[in-house]
């Protein structure tokens, strides 16, 4: 006599294990996507901040090229400005270089700091910002000569 085996499908335990594996995979995928989006956004913000700093440096270089004598007599220059989007705070400083190898008043250091992602719920204060109130910052510097 032979026994007949009836296989009517998967057991409840097998289904629960399969669903658990699918859920873990979905969570890992969603975490990877979220991290990728955040990284992409930060990269975009950082590129914009770099372009703001480069533009500010170019403005000072154009000012120096237009009238170098006036430019070097106005040093030091310090300014805080809020960009047109209202999200980025720029601190720019132009100072006479202290390099002993260079004659006094012939070389200047242009330094631009850009801060963004204001942590506070109040509006951004760019007149004298508390640097720790921002999540991100970049700094760019260059030297110019007469």
Helix (H) or strand (E) holding 90: strand 88-96
Residue 104 has pLDDT above 60, yes or no: yes
Residue 1 has pLDDT above 60, yes or no: no
Residue 125: which pLDDT band, with cuts at 50, 70 and 90?
confident
In a domain, 3, yes or no: no
Number of folded domains that form the chain: 1
In a domain, 141, yes or no: yes
Mean pLDDT of the chain: 86
In a domain, 58, yes or no: yes
**Residue that the structure tokens 């220059």 belong to:** 77
In a domain, 64, yes or no: yes
In a domain, 26, yes or no: yes
Summarised one tens digit per residue, pLDDT across range 45-72 is 999 999 999 999 999 999 999 988 888 8
- Predicted model pTM: 0.75
CA atoms of 81 and 93, how far apart (whole Å) = 12
In a domain, 25, yes or no: yes
Name which of 133, 130, 94 is nearest 111 in CA terms. 94
Angle at 25 between CA 23 and CA 30, to 5 degrees: 95
CA atoms of 71 and 108, how far apart (whole Å) = 10
92 within 8 A of 60, measured Cβ to Cβ: yes
Residue 124's domain comprises 12-145
Residue 146 has pLDDT above 90, yes or no: no
In sequence order, the 6+-apart residues with CB closer than 8 A to the CB of 95 are 75, 76, 77, 108, 109, 111
In a domain, 136, yes or no: yes
Helix (H) or strand (E) holding 78: strand 77-82
pLDDT at 5: 64
In a domain, 137, yes or no: yes
CA atoms of 43 and 22, how far apart (whole Å) = 32
């Amino acid at each position: 006599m032979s026994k007949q085996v009836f296989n009517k499908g998967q057991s409840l335990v097998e289904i629960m294990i399969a669903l658990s594996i699918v859920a873990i995979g979905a969570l890992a995928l969603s975490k990877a996507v979220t991290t990728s989006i955040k990284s992409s956004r930060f990269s975009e913000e950082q590129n914009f901040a770099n372009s703001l700093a480069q533009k500010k440096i170019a403005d000072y270089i154009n000012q120096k090229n237009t009238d170098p004598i006036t430019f070097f007599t106005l040093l030091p220059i310090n300014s805080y400005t809020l960009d047109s989007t209202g999200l980025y705070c720029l601190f720019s400083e132009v100072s006479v270089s202290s390099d002993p190898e260079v004659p006094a008043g012939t070389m200047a250091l242009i330094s631009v700091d850009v801060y963004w992602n204001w942590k506070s719920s109040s509006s951004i204060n760019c007149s004298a910002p508390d640097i720790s109130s921002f999540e991100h910052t970049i700094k760019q510097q260059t030297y110019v000569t007469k």
